[in-house]
């Protein structure tokens, strides 16, 4: 897909981190970007910077997602690009013993469900609604392309660590549904790909102590550092712009394979 002036795009989780870098990369091509995020102050600031639109939205809410797409489409037109970066994580063992009294507890199922609802169901909700909208558009090239979607999974989808059962399950689900969705949409000219990021220097990671960040960086085979959001954005742009890129799940991780803990 050739991203040109005023191409409508939506980036979920676009107010910070991987989503922000991707929104900036898309906007640099002249596209009109709608930022879907929970962070109102940051989102409004980013939208102003990019000449786009901010939509406050919780991807677990059908009503909020519908309202956000309606607002974005009223401002920019039906999107041809969707990048899903909204997501959360936690670290809770499936079952564990209390270090003080030896009592046993299991993973709170409500917490497990919440991660699945945000990372997996929320991603699919945005894909389904965006794809339905893209299907109303005319093709834009000789291949019959109407739109392109990029999702964010994680290397935890393949080598999750201790305490990541919910996170790994949610991201594994994103990987697992990529090819079926690409096949669902193949006759409509809508491509779907997924990035599996390793350890990236995002605002969440910046909250970690320097020694923790240094240890994580040292665990990456090459280059021995955390990934940059701009590097994620570069791969997302390749997936969006290369029409033959479809149905793929690609690790972006400096060749790291996560240890058990």
Segment (H or E) for 95 = strand 95-97
Annotated catalytic, 167?
yes
Strands 81-84 and 104-106: unpaired
C-alpha span between 125 and 137 (Å, rounded): 20
C-alpha span between 122 and 60 (Å, rounded): 5
Q: Which pair of tokens denotes residue 120?
A: 């997996």
> DSSP assignment, residue 146?
-
> DSSP assignment, residue 244?
T
Pick from 150, 133, 151, 126: which is nearest to 65 by CA? 126
Q: Which pair of tokens denotes residue 111?
A: 């917490």
Strand partners, 106: 95
Catalytic position from the list 107, 167, 232, 244:
167
Asked whether the beta carbons of 4 and 74 are under 8 A apart, the reply is: no
Question: Which residues are part of the catalytic machinery?
Answer: 167
């Amino acid at each position: 897909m050739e991203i040109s002036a005023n191409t409508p795009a939506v980036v979920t989780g676009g107010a910070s981190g991987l989503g922000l870098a991707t929104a900036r990369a898309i906007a640099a091509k002249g596209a009109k970007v709608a930022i879907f995020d929970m962070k109102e102050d940051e989102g409004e600031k980013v939208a102003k910077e990019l000449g786009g639109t901010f939509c406050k939205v919780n991807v677990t809410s059908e009503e909020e997602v519908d309202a956000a797409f309606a607002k974005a489409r009223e401002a920019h037109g039906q999107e041809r690009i969707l990048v899903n970066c909204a997501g959360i994580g936690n670290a809770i063992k499936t079952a564990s013993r209390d270090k003080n009294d030896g009592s046993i507890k299991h993973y709170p199922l409500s917490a497990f469900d919440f991660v699945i609802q945000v990372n997996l169901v929320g991603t699919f909700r945005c894909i389904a609604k965006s794809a339905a909208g893209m299907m109303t558009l005319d093709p834009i090239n000789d291949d019959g392309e109407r739109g392109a979607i990029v999702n964010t999974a994680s290397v935890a989808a393949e080598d999750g660590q201790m305490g990541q059962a919910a996170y790994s399950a949610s991201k594994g689900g994103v990987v697992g549904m990529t090819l079926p969705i690409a096949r669902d949409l193949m006759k409509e000219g809508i491509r779907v790909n997924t990035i599996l990021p390793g350890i990236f220097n995002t605002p969440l990671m910046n909250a970690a102590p320097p020694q923790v960040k240094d240890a994580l960086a040292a665990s990456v085979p090459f280059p021995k550092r955390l990934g940059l959001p701009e590097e994620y954005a570069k791969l997302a742009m390749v997936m969006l712009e290369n029409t033959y890129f479809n149905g793929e799940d690609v690790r972006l991780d400096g060749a790291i394979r996560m240890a058990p803990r």
